[in-house]
């Protein structure tokens, strides 16, 4: 019979497997009725936005989530936005927090 110490030593590595192999939970899309999204007038289609004014030398019509500094996705479809706690925003979306990517 194994002692408790021997048992823990023998199985300790197994106990970590669930933590290491935990599946990555996909980020959720930013709901349009989210209070922060509403406050910043977020829309999933920038062409539907009102109030896109020229900002930092970029015409309002050229401002999209996909060219915003806070958009961290490798593609233009959907990606995490730092401003909204990394919830997914549409690459062709927009909000008043837009700033040009560096
Ligand atoms: S901060 Fe930028 S990436 Fe985030 S929702 Fe607004 S425009 Fe899109």
Residues in the chain: 102
The per-residue pLDDT for 1 is 59
Closest ligand 1 atom, CA of 89?
5
Query: 74 alpha carbon to ligand 1 midpoint, in Å?
Result: 15
Query: 54 alpha carbon to ligand 1 midpoint, in Å?
Result: 15
Which structure tokens are listed for 79? 């990606």
The per-residue pLDDT for 34 is 97
Top CATH class of 27-90 equals few secondary structures
Please state which of the ranges 9-18, 29-38, 61-70, 73-82 shows the lowest mean pLDDT. Answer: 9-18
| Residues lining ligand 1, Cβ inside 6 A | 42, 65, 68, 70-71, 81, 83, 89, 93-95, 97-98
Q: What is the pLDDT of residues 2-54, one digit of tens each?
A: 655 554 455 554 444 444 444 445 689 999 999 999 999 999 999 999 889 99
Which residue's entry shows tokens 């927009």? 94
Helix (H, G, I), strand (E, B), or coil: what is residue 20? helix
Q: Probe ligand 1: pick from 93, 99, 102, max atoms within 8 Å of CB?
A: 93
Task: Name the β-bridge partners of 56.
Answer: none
| Inter-residue contact 88 to 65 (CB < 8 Å) | no
Distances (CA, A) of 5 to 15, 28, 40: 14, 43, 56
């Amino acid at each position: 019979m194994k002692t408790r110490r021997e048992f823990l030593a023998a199985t300790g590595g197994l106990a970590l497997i669930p933590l290491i192999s935990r599946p990555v939970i996909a980020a959720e899309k930013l709901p349009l009725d989210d209070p922060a999204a509403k406050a910043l007038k977020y829309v999933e289609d920038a062409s539907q936005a009102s109030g896109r004014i020229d900002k930092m030398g970029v015409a309002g019509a050229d401002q999209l989530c996909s060219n915003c500094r806070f958009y961290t996705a490798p593609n233009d479809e959907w990606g995490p936005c730092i401003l909204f706690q990394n919830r997914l925003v549409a690459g062709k979306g927009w909000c008043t927090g837009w700033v040009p990517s560096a």
